[in-house]
Amino acid sequence: MKKIFLFASMGLALLASCTGKKTNTEGELADSTAVAVEQTEPEKEYDLESIAKVIEGAETVMGFSEGRASVINKDGKLGVIDKKGNIIIPFEYGYSVYRFSEGVLCCHKNDTRYYFDHDGNVLFTSEYGGSCRFHDGFACIYKDGKYTYLDKTGKQAFPEEWEWAEDFSDGMALVMGEGGWGFIDTTGKLVIPYQYDSPSERNPEGFHEGLAAVIIDPSRELFGYIDKTGKQVFPKLYYNDSQFSEGLAAVYDRDLDRHGYIDKTGKMVITLDEGYNGDNFREGLATIRKHGTPSAFIDKAGKQVIQLDGTYKDVEPFYERRARVWDGTAYGFINTEGKLVIPCQYTCYEGFSEGLVPVTKDGKCGYLDLEGNSTFDYQ
């Protein structure tokens, strides 16, 4: 924490002159005690210089999650650091799911999975693979040719095992049994029977904001939306299988022959022009594309608030008021006004998380903050 002290001697003299009172600069003012007014500048939660030292020569750096980031060093070993550059988990592991989720991170070493807490303490170990990420209190694992779930003590959460299973999302998990795909809740109970032909390819975990896209008409590959009881919430079917995000879902209406966005009643609230399709909303904005080329960001009223018009070959959603853009050669970031605030000079595969984003430049790995300051400044 930086401290700034403002000394008030001159201020006392000025105050005296304004009131007409004489001052004795050789006496009373000289003997007076300077008044120190302490002010503080907010301390950044990250230290780019310290991070730069610990990741020097690293093969790969990952994004921060819950104040921690996985790093693969020059020897190909994985460890975990915090935002001050402290090593939380030593560089001893082969691979990981890379991000903390619900306070737990899984690393792999000698055919054993180690589950760590934020302080680098081992919570438990397991011999089983799978996604190993905790969601809604459970991690999906692959055990002896079947899928099941662990709780945070490392015990098998439910006696049932499935042909296939996905991570929990929104309190529900997609599982495969006889008859197709269905959904279990966090007690392991099958609350939506095995009845669906296949999961959504773009949204395999299923539920978001209380609804899930499922194939209702397999012959025409038409999707509808169900609630957590399995009830279809509106009769209209669509070709798209997008999840709901910020209350809207991007769909294609075959009757209108248009892409657009529906609300949770199934009403098309934004209809896009012919040849356009849209991405999911994030931070109040969504990219629309004309024949696959990014054209603009729209708001939830359908208004084009950021014009792209071929400026960038590709764009990603906003994360922390920054959207990753690609000029055909390298990546940079724009702000919510469409201004390029971080030049296109990096290789980058993620968005901002917790104020930082991992990037590569000239063969070196590093991190940028939202203003474009970087660990490269210290290498």
β-strand 322-326 against 314-319: which pairing, if any?
A: antiparallel
248 versus 110: the higher-pLDDT residue is 248
Q: For position 226, what pLDDT does the model report?
A: 95
Please tell me the number of Cα atoms within 13 Å of 240 on its side-chain side: 21
Burial of 105 (0-12, 13-18, 19+ CB in 10 A): buried
pLDDT in tens, 56-74: 999 999 999 999 999 999 9
Q: For position 19, what pLDDT does the model report?
A: 39
pTM score of the predicted model: 0.84
**Which among 81, 82, 86, 106 has a CA at the least distance from the CA of 94?**
106
Q: For position 201, what pLDDT does the model report?
A: 63
- What are φ and ψ of residue 14, in 5° steps? -65, -40
Structure token digits, residue 350:
């993620």
By the 8 A CB rule, do 154 and 115 touch? yes
Q: For position 257, what pLDDT does the model report?
A: 94
Judged against a pLDDT cut of 70, whether residue 335 lies above it is answered with: yes
- The verdict on residue 27 lying in a domain is yes
pLDDT in tens, 96-109: 788 999 999 999 99
Q: Report the amino acid identity of residue 191.
A: V
- The verdict on residue 216 lying in a domain is no
State the pLDDT confidence band at 89, using cuts at 50, 70 and 90.
Answer: very high
| Structural domain count of the chain | 1
Judged against a pLDDT cut of 50, whether residue 36 lies above it is answered with: no
Q: For position 202, what pLDDT does the model report?
A: 60
- DSSP letters spanning 4-38: EEEE-HHHHHHHHHHHT----TTTHHHHSPPPEEE
- The verdict on residue 262 lying in a domain is no
H-type helices in the chain, by residue range? 9-19, 28-31, 48-54
Q: For position 22, what pLDDT does the model report?
A: 38
Residues 6+ away with beta carbon under 8 Å from 10: none
Q: How far is CA 371 from CA 46, 59, 344, 357, in A?
A: 13, 24, 14, 11
- The verdict on residue 33 lying in a domain is yes
Q: For position 21, what pLDDT does the model report?
A: 40
- The verdict on residue 13 lying in a domain is yes
Instruction: Compute the distance between CA of residue 250 and CA of residue 11 in angstroms, rounded to an integer.
Output: 62
pLDDT in tens, 244-279: 999 999 999 999 999 999 999 999 999 999 999 999
pLDDT in tens, 221-251: 899 999 999 999 999 999 877 899 999 999 9
Structure token digits, residue 78:
């994985």
Judged against a pLDDT cut of 80, whether residue 33 lies above it is answered with: no
CB atoms within 10 A of CB 274: 8
- The verdict on residue 160 lying in a domain is no
pLDDT in tens, 316-334: 999 999 999 999 999 999 9
Q: Which range (33-37, 189-193, 291-295, 297-301) has the least confidence? A: 33-37
Domain membership of residue 26 as a residue range: 1-43
Helix (H) and strand (E) counts in the chain: 3, 32
- The verdict on residue 106 lying in a domain is no
